[in-house]
Amino acid sequence: MGVKAVYQKYLGFYDANPINLKRLPPEEFAQNITEYMGGADAVMQRLARDYDAGNYQLVVSIANYLVFADPTNMQARKMEAAALEQLGYQAESGPARNAYLMGAQELRNTAPLSGSTRISADIASAMSPAQLLDYLAVRVNGSKAAGDHLVMNLTITDSGDRALVQVKNSVLVYWVNESSPAANVSVSMSRKTFEQLALDPSAPLAGIVTSGDSAAFDRFVRMLDRFDPAFNIVIP
């Protein structure tokens, strides 16, 4: 996967095969390829034989077309899920196993997806201020921050940690244990409030004390995205 990433970074997505220059949308292609293969019922019979033969990679590759052609086809979804689980059980790589089993879980689940933060409050409490600032940097929405140049002195009151935070060119950078008299705003908050800001910027923040341009801090908070991890992976 690393070699592929390096290849794509320097040479782009194009693999020199001209059919990949302008491919059909995945759903449209899947519907047509399913028809070419004789329809979902005929394909399912062959998938069952290949599953029994242990050809799990082949099964997930073909069943994926049936799922994209018709996401309501639970027979195809369960077949793909079963094969993904077998690939997960065989995987030597922990991340690969998790990816296989996550895909299988999504295929078997018929309830609407619900999003929640990927970082829990317990994890946030164990993170250093620099790690929390790194997480905030990921949250900065480039479009919302466009054209703004903001410098902020940050102080965590109960620990004494300080940082100089800058948002410029839609990117957040920071310097730990530094401050600037030229900052737009100086902000003090408790460690718990700082963690809450990192976990969910849309939640009310308690005990914030600002000096200078308080509107600058309000702009900073509005730049931060709230992530919704509830998105499909193996289902269109």
User: Residue 16 has what pLDDT?
Assistant: 82
Of the residues 108, 142, 173, which one is the last residue of a structural domain?
108
Statement to judge: residues 131 and 53 lie in one domain? no
Whole-angstrom distance, CA of residue 149 vs CA of residue 211? 18
Whole-angstrom distance, CA of residue 222 vs CA of residue 202? 8
Range of the domain at 129: 121-223
User: Residue 2 has what pLDDT?
Assistant: 73
User: Residue 135 has what pLDDT?
Assistant: 95
Statement to judge: residues 100 and 171 lie in one domain? no
Statement to judge: residues 85 and 138 lie in one domain? no
User: By C-alpha distance, which of 199, 204, 208 is closest to 226?
Assistant: 199
Q: What is the CATH number for 94?
A: 1.25.40.880
Statement to judge: residues 129 and 91 lie in one domain? no
Statement to judge: residues 155 and 217 lie in one domain? yes
Q: Identify whether 46 is part of a domain.
A: yes
In tens, the pLDDT along 90-146 reads 999 999 999 999 999 999 998 766 655 567 889 999 999 999 999 999 999 999 999
Query: Do 219 and 165 contact (CB within 8 A), yes or no?
Result: no
Low-confidence spans in the chain with pLDDT less than 70: 1, 112-118
Counted residue by residue, the chain has a size of: 236
User: Residue 67 has what pLDDT?
Assistant: 98
Statement to judge: residues 215 and 173 lie in one domain? yes
User: Residue 118 has what pLDDT?
Assistant: 64
Q: Identify whether 159 is part of a domain.
A: yes
Statement to judge: residues 91 and 132 lie in one domain? no
Number of domains in the chain: 2
User: Residue 14 has what pLDDT?
Assistant: 79
β strands within the chain, DSSP E: 150-156, 162-168, 171-176, 185-189, 209-212
Q: Identify whether 234 is part of a domain.
A: no
Whole-angstrom distance, CA of residue 188 vs CA of residue 163? 11
* Helix pair 56-69, 40-52: axis angle to 10 deg: 160
34-62 exposure pattern, b = at least 16 Cβ within 10 A, e = fewer: beeeeebeebbeebeebbeeeebeebbeb
Whole-angstrom distance, CA of residue 151 vs CA of residue 178? 12
Q: Identify whether 56 is part of a domain.
A: yes
Q: Identify whether 231 is part of a domain.
A: no
Statement to judge: residues 134 and 200 lie in one domain? yes
Distances (CA, A) of 80 to 31, 45, 84, 96, 105: 17, 13, 6, 16, 11
Q: What is the CATH number for 126?
A: 3.30.1050.10
Statement to judge: residues 104 and 130 lie in one domain? no
User: Residue 95 has what pLDDT?
Assistant: 94
Statement to judge: residues 55 and 12 lie in one domain? yes
Q: Identify whether 229 is part of a domain.
A: no
**Reduced to 3 states, what is the DSSP secondary structure of residue 140?**
strand
